[in-house]
């Protein structure tokens, strides 16, 4: 869905050409992958993905697979034995709607019992590196690049993507996505009206053509919607799944019964939808979850959407629609849409489960929505259930989540393909990150760089560095020089050569790359600028937005002029956690830009 995680890959690109250590969204020290072993979980309640099959079973695991379930089984010699008394064993959770950019996000997912994620829009080159299974991170399937209209939803995130606007382009578009490795096809039918932002969207005929093109290649087609009418349209088009729940009006009588005839599933993403309509997460206050939440995840949970004129009515409509759909037998899948504002990887699945129950599902139905239902819908036949022969993707929790859905938060153990995650190591890693996460204050306004020394030095933080899209194979270039007491940027932003295209200069004001600083006691950023070209931007990175930049544009003419940008212009931040500032070109073309007298005022 639409969200301000613009240029989510930018921090990794920006540091690439400098020879400096790349930014990490979590501390870089890895957690040693555990080894597969023979395992026996005794006296445990087993929820098999649909129902509780027994209240005091022993589950045997050998290597990556479940081998037996029974009430009178003996543990093999040498097996690790886990006491399951008073606990419930669930299949590993499956988050049916996320957006993934790096491995740390898969690691965080696993820490909260999510063993598989279904990505709904990502850069194919980034996903390629994440597909190799590893026991210390969730496994991923991905739609890759979504299908959208020129200027439509999905094109606003600061990098160019292929688009289409006619039905006769559908097969070529789908074939290109499959060649890139897409496991299924994601389509957008959304004009933005439901969230107060009008954008171009595909025609119904083009959506129909895309669904047919995907099916012709044996791929599923799922469609992003936000309104009742678009939901009806994509169901009529034969889509396999509907992503998000409509919010523009309450569900009319008979809607769910009609929807059931089309045999599509719905992933309502209530966690993010409730965030859009003003609900604040409280996950970081849960004592069972908080010790495993990285600082960036905590800030992401507290972030909000910069939407105006949107109230809680949309959230109520979505909850009512889910209740109707469940009653009509429409499959409901649990998905969070992490890392959008108000959500975070892994942990928000526990919020989604609680919201599904609030919408009218029983706890068992909510658990099914996060286990066997997405596995069945996406043909993941080796997971999502607890049965002999299936992968040992397992989540052990204290209590009975089929009676109290909040019990999923009391995690005792997580196994991914039979390998147990060391959650104590995760907790220690988080504790270390939290102890060093406070932003250093910049108490007083003052100059950052006047370049009179002839160097790229700054008054605080790291020196200015070159940044471009070459990390992702782009051809954009930039060269920084200090000339006549000013920083001179000469470069070219090359369109279409990389997932993200830009070239310019980057300042990181903290003591280390992307370490946050607090500038909330100051008013904003100012600098003098002269140049030729077009498409100049200041991108402000903050920790709470998960390294998602907030953008302000400016112009540069033949004479030096002063640019003043208050922090308040960067909607969604108070300046307390600034991690980086980028100045440069973001629109295709050559540019020559001089910057001088940069200051925080």
Cα dihedral across residues 171, 175, 176, 181: positive or negative: positive
The owner of tokens 């578009």 is 173
Tell me the average pLDDT across 8-12: 31
Question: Is residue 466 in some structural domain?
Answer: yes
Provide the pLDDT for residue 25: 35
Residue range 51-65: mean pLDDT, rounded = 94
What does the alpha-carbon distance between residue 311 and residue 277 come to, in Å, rounded to a whole number?
Answer: 5
State how beta strands 265-267 and 241-243 pair: parallel
Q: What is the pLDDT of residue 473?
A: 52
Provide mean pLDDT across the span 162-178: 97
Pairing of strands 517-518, 477-483: unpaired
- In the chain, the percentage of residues whose pLDDT exceeds 90 is 70
3-state SS of 135-173 is CCCCEEEECCCCECCCCCCCCCCCCCCCCCCCHHHHHHH
Q: What is the pLDDT of residues 477-496, one digit of tens each?
A: 999 999 999 999 999 998 86
Q: Are residues 112 and 16 in the same domain?
A: no
Peptide bond connecting 339 to the previous residue in cis, omega within 30 degrees of 0: yes
Tell me what the mean pLDDT of segment 322-348 comes to.
96
Indicate whether 80 belongs to any domain: no
- Asked if 98 and 117 count as a contact pair (C-beta separation under 8 A), the reply is yes
User: What number is the average pLDDT over the span 578-585?
Assistant: 92
Question: Residue 159's pLDDT is what?
Answer: 73
Taking the C-alpha atoms of residue 106 and residue 116, their distance in angstroms, rounded to an integer, is 9
Which CA distances in Å does 242 have to 205, 208, 320? 17, 14, 16
Q: What pLDDT was estimated at residue 41?
A: 97
The answer to whether residue 390 sits within a structural domain is no
Q: Give the pTM.
A: 0.75
pLDDT reading at 42 higher than 80: yes
591 with 585: CB under 8 angstroms?
yes
- 357 and 241 in one domain? yes
Cβ contact 149:165 at 8 Å: yes
Its domain, for residue 208, covers 91-373
Q: Do the beta carbons of residue 45 and residue 85 sit within 8 Å?
A: no
DSSP state of 545: G
- Give the pLDDT of residue 28: 37
364 and 478 both lie in a single domain? no
List the CATH number of the domain containing 504. 2.60.120.430
Query: Do both 354 and 221 map to the same domain?
Result: yes
Tally the domains of the chain: 2
Residue 149 shares a structural domain with residue 266: yes
Higher pLDDT, 490 or 542: 490
Look at residues 373, 407, 422 and tell me which one is the last residue of a structural domain: 373
Cis omega (within 30 of 0) on the bond before 430?
Answer: no
CA distance 131 to 151: 30
How far is Cα of residue 406 from the mean position of the Cα atoms in its chain? 23
User: How far is Cα 316 from Cα 274, in angstroms, rounded to an integer?
Assistant: 9
Would you say residue 206 has pLDDT above 60?
Answer: yes
Work out the mean pLDDT of the chain and round it to a whole number. 88
Report the pLDDT value the prediction gives residue 442, as an integer from 0 to 100: 62
Q: Are residues 461 and 357 in the same domain?
A: no
Residue 551, domain member (yes or no)? yes
Which of 322, 339, 373 finishes a domain? 373
Residues 585 and 505 both lie in one domain: yes
CATH code (residue 344): 3.20.20.140
Q: Are residues 17 and 135 in the same domain?
A: no
Q: Are residues 463 and 350 in the same domain?
A: no
Instruction: Establish if 560 belongs to a structural domain.
Output: yes
- In this structure, the answer to whether residues 323 and 197 fall within a common structural domain is yes
Same domain? For 366 and 445 the reply is: no
CA angle 37–43–49, rounded 5-degree value: 75
* Of 346, 373, 400, the domain-final residue: 373
Domain assignment of residue 486, yes or no? yes
| Claim to verify: residue 462 and residue 571 sit in the same structural domain | yes
Terminal Cα-to-Cα distance of the chain (whole angstroms): 36
Residue identified by tokens 């940027």 is 489
C-alpha 465: how far from chain center: 28
Is 581 part of any domain?
Answer: yes
Query: Would you list the DSSP string of 208-274?
Result: HHHHHHHHHTT--EEEE--SHHHHHHHHHTT-SEEES---SSPPPTTHHHHHHHTT-EEE--HHHHH
How much is the average pLDDT of 55-81? 94
Higher pLDDT, 147 or 191: 147
Residues 510-533: tens digit of each pLDDT? 876 677 788 988 999 999 999 998
Q: Is residue 54 part of a domain?
A: no
């Amino acid at each position: 869905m639409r969200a301000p995680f613009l240029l989510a890959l930018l921090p990794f690109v920006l540091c690439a050409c400098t020879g400096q250590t790349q930014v990490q969204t979590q501390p870089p020290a890895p957690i040693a992958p555990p080894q597969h072993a023979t395992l026996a979980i005794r006296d445990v309640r087993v929820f098999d993905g649909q129902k509780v099959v027994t209240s005091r079973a022993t589950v045997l695991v050998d290597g990556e697979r479940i081998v037996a379930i029974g009430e009178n089984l003996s543990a093999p010699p040498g097996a690790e034995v886990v006491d399951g008394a008073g606990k419930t064993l669930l299949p590993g959770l499956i988050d049916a709607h996320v957006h993934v950019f790096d491995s740390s996000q898969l690691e965080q997912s696993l820490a909260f019992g999510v063993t598989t994620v279904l990505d709904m829009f990502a850069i194919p080159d980034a996903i390629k590196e994440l597909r190799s299974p590893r026991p210390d991170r969730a496994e991923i399937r991905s739609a890759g690049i979504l299908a959208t209209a020129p200027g439509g939803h999905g094109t606003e995130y600061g990098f160019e993507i292929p688009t289409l606007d006619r039905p006769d382009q559908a097969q070529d578009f789908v074939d290109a996505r499959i060649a890139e490795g897409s496991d299924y096809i994601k389509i957008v039918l959304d004009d933005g009206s439901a969230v107060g932002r009008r954008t171009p969207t595909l025609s119904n005929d083009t959506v129909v053509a895309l669904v047919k093109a995907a099916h012709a290649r044996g791929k599923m087609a799922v469609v992003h919607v936000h309104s009742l009418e678009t939901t009806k349209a994509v169901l009529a088009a034969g889509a396999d799944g509907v992503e998000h729940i409509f919010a523009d009006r309450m569900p009319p009588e008979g809607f769910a019964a009609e929807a059931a005839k089309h045999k599509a599933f719905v992933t309502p993403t209530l966690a993010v939808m409730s965030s859009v309509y003003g609900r604040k997460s409280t996950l970081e206050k849960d004592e069972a979850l908080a010790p495993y939440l990285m600082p960036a995840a905590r800030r992401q949970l507290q972030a909000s959407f910069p939407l105006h004129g949107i109230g809680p009515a949309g959230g109520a409509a979505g909850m009512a629609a889910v209740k109707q759909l469940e009653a009509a037998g429409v499959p409901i899948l649990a998905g969070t849409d992490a890392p959008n504002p108000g959500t975070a990887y892994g942990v928000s699945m526990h919020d989604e489960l609680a919201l599904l129950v609030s919408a009218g599902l029983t706890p068992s139905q909510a658990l099914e929505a996060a286990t066997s239902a997405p596995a069945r819908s996406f043909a993941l036949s080796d997971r999502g259930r607890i049965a002999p022969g299936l992968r040992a993707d397992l989540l052990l929790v204290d209590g009975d989540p089929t009676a109290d859905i909040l019990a999923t938060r009391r995690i005792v153990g997580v196994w991914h393909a039979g390998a147990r995650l060391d959650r104590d190591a995760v907790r220690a890693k988080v504790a270390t990150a939290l102890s060093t996460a406070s932003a250093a204050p910049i108490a007083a306004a003052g100059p950052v760089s006047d370049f009179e020394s002839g160097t790229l030095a700054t008054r605080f933080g790291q020196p200015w560095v070159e940044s471009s899209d070459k990390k992702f194979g782009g051809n954009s270039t930039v060269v920084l020089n200090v000339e006549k007491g000013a920083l001179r940027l000469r470069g070219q932003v090359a369109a279409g050569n990389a997932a993200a295209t830009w070239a310019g200069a980057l300042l990181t004001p903290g003591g280390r790359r992307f370490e946050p600083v607090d500038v909330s006691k100051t008013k904003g950023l100012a600098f003098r600028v002269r140049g030729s070209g077009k498409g100049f931007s200041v991108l402000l990175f903050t920790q709470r937005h998960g390294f998602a930049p907030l953008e302000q544009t400016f112009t540069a003419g033949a004479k030096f002029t002063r640019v003043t940008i208050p922090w308040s212009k960067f909607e969604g931040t108070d300046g307390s956690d600034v991690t980086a500032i980028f100045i440069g070109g973001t629109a295709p073309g050559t540019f020559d830009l001089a910057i001088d007298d940069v200051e925080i005022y």
